[in-house]
Amino acid sequence: MTTRTSGVVRLLMALVVATACGSGPSTVATTNPTPATVLDDHFGFIAGNTVRVESSAKPLFVLPIPSDTAGVVSPDGRRLAYLADNQLHVINIASGAQPRTLLSLSALEGAMHLAWSSDSTGLVVGVTGTVAPVNEGRPSYTKLRVVDTAGGTPRDVISIANASVVPLAWDRQAHLISAYEATESGAGAYDVVSESGTLKRTSAGAANLYILSASQDGKHVFGHGDPNNVVRVWPMDSYEGGVELRGTSDEHVATVAWRPGTAEVGVLFHGDRLELWDANGAKRTIALPAAKSSSDRYATLAFRADGKAVVISRQSGVEGSTETYTVAVDLASGRSVLIPMSGNGPLAGTSVRIGS
């Protein structure tokens, strides 16, 4: 199954952002914007250990961590947390920054998934025990272990037996952690855990959800799976209180991502349309320059960390081709500008803040 946590930085991203060269139609603007009206070099993207600003193909700086690092960007866009050598590390996304180790796991433990707290001051890690010989190869337990980025002693909030638990978010204001239990057929259960260790488990298997993601403030979660044209959105403390948002029956959703600072979900359809949906069912459409039909095979949707713009990429499905259609969109005005790019585009959650 495919699992995602908010802001996962994938391996082998070949982000090559060059000076924008044109513009396309939008729902609002009728002028031809320059790149400066859409792109903002106070922000950029991280790929592995390399950080670039939005408008430049050249790396701005390289962090002193492995080039194949996969991690999670904090909600404020200023730090990266990652797991390596059975340790949890965090590093400021700034030139000259050095990583710090926040916790180390024992030789009998492992971890693959982590999530930031909503205020960017703490982290929750899914720490697993040895794999059980039965029960679909699930670990003997998953402990949700929390730690403050300022330091201090990590503590286990809860241990859930015979489950592979993926943390989604830690809402420090509500004192709740959201997570789901991964199975071979998707999300088997959705969990809400209080900081005192109380578990509320809700079955989610019937919904056929394969991709789950929490909003940056930790207050909402979406699930996407089968049927493809449906996105389920719910308050983090009530799976039962969710709603199903639907496209038309013949439409195929390419990818879905949260818009930072809002309760809106960006839904990219194959073709030339981006829609922003909220949990009340309201939606608005952002028209995009038409992409080549061969560019719909692999799509990415990366909102800027401040939620004011988005970069949309579609990679060509032609064998041997690295051609990628990429467009940046200012969400207030609807202005858009095409960006030359080769290889995979930036992924959801990889936008970072540059400087103070």
257 inside domain: yes
∠ CA 136-142-147, nearest 5°, is: 155
Instruction: Please state, in angstroms and rounded to a whole number, the distance separating the CA atoms of residues 165 and 183.
Output: 9
**How many angstroms separate the CA atoms of 208 and 347, rounded?**
23
> Using one digit for the tens of pLDDT, what is the confidence trace for 188-228?
999 999 999 999 999 987 778 989 999 999 999 999 988 78
pLDDT digits (tens, 9 = 90+) for 316-356: 666 666 677 889 999 998 898 888 776 778 999 999 999 86
Q: How far apart are CA 64 and CA 144, in angstroms?
A: 28
Q: Is residue 93 part of a domain?
A: yes
Answer whether residue 30 is part of any domain. Answer: yes
Mean pLDDT of the chain: 85
Residue 19: pLDDT over 60? no
Within-domain flag for 135: yes
Q: Report pLDDT digits (tens) over 221-277.
A: 999 988 788 899 999 999 999 998 887 767 788 899 999 999 999 999 876 789 999
Q: What are phi and psi of 145, to 5 degrees?
A: -105, 130
Q: Is residue 300 part of a domain?
A: yes
The model's pTM is 0.86
Is pLDDT at 143 greater than 80 in this prediction?
Answer: yes
**Taking phi first (over 0 means left), then psi (-120 to 50 degrees means alpha), and beta for anything else, what does residue 254 get?**
alpha
Percent of the chain predicted with pLDDT > 70:
83
Residue 235 domain boundaries = 22-353
Q: Is residue 6 part of a domain?
A: no
**pLDDT tens column, 108-129:** 999 999 999 999 999 999 999 9
**Highest mean pLDDT, choosing among 179-188, 280-289, 296-305:** 179-188
Distances (CA, A) of 346 to 11, 159, 232: 11, 35, 24
pLDDT computed for residue 89 by the predictor: 97
- Which has more pLDDT, 303 or 290? 303
152: in domain? yes
pLDDT at 177 over 90: yes
18 burial class (0-12, 13-18, 19+ CB within 10 angstroms)?
A: middle
- Residue 90 is part of a domain; what is its CATH number? 2.130.10.10
pLDDT of 51 above 90: yes
Buried b (16+ CB within 10 A) or exposed e, 70-98: bbbbbbbbbbbbbbeeeebbbbebbeebe
Within a domain: 8: no
> How open is the CA angle 144-46-78, to the nearest 5 degrees?
60
Over the range 325-345, which residues count as b (16 or more CB within 10 Å of their CB) and which as e? bbbbbbbebbbbbbbbbbebb
In whole angstroms, what is the distance from residue 302 CA to residue 311 CA?
5
- The residues, any chain, with a CB within 8 Å of residue 319's CB and separated by 6 or more, are none
pLDDT given at position 24: 35
Total domains present in the chain: 1
